[in-house]
Amino acid sequence: MNSFRRLVLTFMSCCVLLGGCGRTEQSDNSMPDGIVNVQPSETYDLNEDDYEEEEDEPVQTTTSFVYEYEETTTVPRARGYVADGNRRRPETTTRVRDDNSITPRTTASKPRKIVTRATAPRPKVVTSIVTVTKIVTAPATSEVTVTADTDVSSQTGTGQTGTGKVTTTKSKTTTTVTTTFKGKSPKKIVSEMTLKQKVCQMFIVTPEQLSGGSKVTEANTSIKKKLASYPVAGVLLSEDNLRSETQLSALMTNMQYYIGKNSDVKLFFAVCEQGGDNSPVAEKLDIKKLSEQEEYGLENKPDELEKAGKEVGKELAKLGFHINFAPSASTDKNGYSSDAEIAAELVKAMVKGLDSGGVAPAVSAFPGSEDFDTRFKLKAFNYLPFRKAIENGAQFVQMSDKNFKAFDDELPAVFSSTAYKSLRVDLDFDGIAVTCRLDKSSITKKYDPDEAAVLAVKAGADILLAPKDLDEAVDAICKAVEDGEIEESKIDEIVEKIIIRKKLMELC
């Protein structure tokens, strides 16, 4: 028993000694010996009903932005590049928390600089806006008695005297047209030309007039040199210049190449494909041949004629032609009919057909075939086919080499300022007026090349066709401008009109 009691007392003494070994200075009397009470950095009452979170001291922050400033210098298509520089950014301040204290820390944005460098400007584009306003009043009807080569009532061509009823409609048309272009504007192109270059842009000539030879079928050295000295507006081709599609393509391509070496303005290529015996392209190449205009007049089927015109237009355009001197708007044997109304509808059909096919029609030959002693009669009988052509998009009108008593100036229409004024005013034509061929015997018998050229420009012509001597004609116009006989501003206006047409045909 004593031994057992001694053993128990020894065990208890050991336990007391072991428990005292874990006590430290941080020991809490409320805690068992050996357990350390570690105070938390933040205290919370764990009773859910009375729970409150101690609010942290508010931290003020400033958002940091990096600003990049672009120079205000205006430059075309400026590009920005970042480079080191001395300009400093606005400093930003951020306050960060370090335990229970707020320590300010200041940072500065890295110095940066925007450097601009200009590249080539984009081509200017002129916006296209077309506004047409037309006010038509009630038609006025009047009786007129005339003596003419044509019967007024029946249009049979018997030369009788008759009484006709002429209906005229007064109208006021206001048209504002601004055309869309890429690259240099027409005015800019003209401003960069010399006087001689501008005058040359008023001529369409034949390959023979460029080379000095006959039946030209290739662009030889003579043509190359001539185009370098006289960069004309275009070239009129005939049956003598055609052998095959391959040959024609080479001729056109080489001439465009020659003109392009000294000018950004390419050539018009023109032809006179009216039909019947006057079908140079159809005679030499495999394209649709139109019948004589008079045959279409007898059939009087405008819809079919428009389809034929469109087919021919497409084939001419495919070959590289831009202008076709057709149709004839006369009311004689060269036109569709002696009946002005029938002729007008067929001229309208052909103009629409060629234009939709891709070739510009050049209607001939103003003011028609019949002569009258007053302009009133001339307009009543001759103008309707031309009016229909112009209303339906004809941008080229060719002038006649005949004299007309109605103009009271004893000059061929091609040299008559009254004739050009009538075309512009009476028919509201704002397109390109082209002379007849100036190498025709009816012109060359009475007028020298230099005289004919100056007369045509002073009268109102825009393009001079096939002068007998290109050098003399160009030099005479240049001299007339230098002497003050012709205003250079007039030349500028004419050439700008031609350049606009070439822009629309993508020739510059």
Tokens of 243: 């052998």
Q: What digits encode the pLDDT tens for the residues 265-303?
A: 999 999 999 999 999 999 999 899 999 999 999 999 999
Amino acid at 289: K
pLDDT at residue 8, rounded to an integer: 60
Q: Flag whether pLDDT at 166 surpasses 70.
A: no
Cβ–Cβ < 8 Å for 271, 237: yes
- Taking CA atoms, 445 is separated from 56, 275, 320, 454, 462, in Å, by 112, 29, 34, 16, 23
Q: What digits encode the pLDDT tens for the residues 67-117?
A: 343 434 343 444 443 444 444 444 444 444 444 444 444 444 444 444 333
Q: Flag whether pLDDT at 7 surpasses 80.
A: no
What is the C-alpha separation between 491 and 464, in angstroms, rounded? 13
Q: In the chain, pLDDT over 90 holds for what percent of residues?
A: 59
Q: Flag whether pLDDT at 31 surpasses 90.
A: no
Determine phi and psi for 132, rounding to 5 degrees.
Answer: -125, 120
Cβ–Cβ < 8 Å for 275, 319: no
pLDDT at residue 375, rounded to an integer: 86
Range with lowest mean pLDDT among 60-69, 216-225, 375-384: 60-69
pTM: 0.68
Report the CATH number of the 184-504 domain.
3.20.20.300
More confident residue, 286 or 365: 365
Question: DSSP characters for 11-65?
Answer: HHHHHHHHHHTT--TTB-TTSPTT-B----SS-----GGG--PPPPPP-------
Q: What digits encode the pLDDT tens for the residues 181-222?
A: 778 899 999 999 999 999 999 999 999 999 999 999 999 999
Averaged pLDDT score across all residues of the chain: 77
What is the C-alpha separation between 205 and 226, in angstroms, rounded? 11
Q: What digits encode the pLDDT tens for the residues 231-240?
A: 999 999 999 9
Q: Which residues contact 202 (CB under 8 A, 6 or more apart)?
A: 233, 457, 461, 462, 463, 464, 477, 491, 494, 495, 498
**What percentage of the chain's residues is helix, strand, coil (to nearest 5)?**
40, 20, 45
More confident residue, 178 or 40: 178
CA Rg value for the chain: 46
What is the C-alpha separation between 357 and 367, in angstroms, rounded? 26
Cβ–Cβ < 8 Å for 423, 429: yes
Q: Flag whether pLDDT at 64 surpasses 50.
A: no
Q: Which residues contact 151 (CB under 8 A, 6 or more apart)?
A: 157, 158, 159, 160, 162
Confidence at 59, pLDDT banded by 50, 70, 90? very low
pLDDT at residue 377, rounded to an integer: 87
Q: What's the farthest any 2 CA atoms get from each other in the chain?
A: 176
Domain range annotation of the chain = 124-180, 184-504
What is the C-alpha separation between 422 and 443, in angstroms, rounded? 22
Cα angle 204, 473, 459; round to 5 = 80
- Taking CA atoms, 179 is separated from 126, 129, 343, 491, in Å, by 7, 7, 32, 20
Q: Flag whether pLDDT at 48 surpasses 80.
A: no
The residues pairing with 132 across neighbouring beta strands, listed in sequence order, are 175
Q: Flag whether pLDDT at 255 surpasses 70.
A: yes
Amino acid at 273: E
- Over residues 375-380, the mean pLDDT reads 88
The length of the chain, given as a count of residues: 508
pLDDT at residue 371, rounded to an integer: 78
* Nearest by Cα to 130 from 175, 84, 72, 189: 175
Amino acid at 73: T
Given CA atoms 397, 401, 405, 408 in this order, what sign does their dihedral have? Answer: positive
Q: Where are the alpha helices (DSSP H) in 244-289?
A: 245-260, 280-284
